[in-house]
């Protein structure tokens, strides 16, 4: 689910009892990462196939990095702290 929190656009992902809040944009080239596949605790960017760990934001698969060494220069997925209180999700925007 994509929501605006103030001026910040945030994607909220729930899998079972886990909730994550992330930037909607892939750090590699700015694609709409929320359009990608969510598997277990990862999200895959639909454009180039980067896979990011939702818990850490770190890239765990960088495709074609042997052929395109510059692709290894990606940053981490932007994550926002999430807490749940009485079933309500609270997201901290810095």
**What are the structural domain ranges in the chain?**
2-91
Q: What is the DSSP letter of 88?
A: E
Buried b / exposed e over 66-75, threshold 16 CB at 10 Å, is eeeeebeebe
Q: Are 51 and 60 in contact (CB under 8 A)?
A: yes
Tell me which of 21 and 5 has the higher pLDDT: 21
Q: Are 13 and 20 in contact (CB under 8 A)?
A: yes
Could you tell me the CATH superfamily of domain 2-91?
A: Rieske [2Fe-2S] iron-sulphur domain (2.102.10.10)
The pLDDT confidence band at residue 94, using thresholds 50, 70 and 90, is: confident
pTM reported for the whole predicted model:
0.86
Residue 46 pLDDT: 93
Nearest to 24 by CA among 39, 38, 3, 6: 3
Torsional sign, CA 79, 59, 54, 50: positive
Q: Tell me: the pLDDT tens digits for 27-86?
A: 988 899 999 999 999 999 999 889 999 999 999 988 776 666 665 667 899 999 999 988
């Amino acid at each position: 689910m994509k929501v605006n929190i103030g001026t910040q656009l945030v994607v909220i992902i729930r899998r079972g009892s886990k909730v994550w809040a992330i930037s909607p944009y892939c750090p590699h080239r700015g694609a709409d990462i929320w359009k990608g596949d969510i598997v277990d605790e990862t999200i895959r960017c639909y454009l180039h196939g980067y896979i990011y760990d939702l818990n850490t934001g770190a890239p765990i698969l960088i495709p074609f990095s042997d052929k395109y060494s510059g692709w290894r220069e990606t940053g981490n997925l932007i994550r926002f702290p999430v807490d749940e209180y009485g079933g309500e999700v609270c997201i901290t925007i810095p």
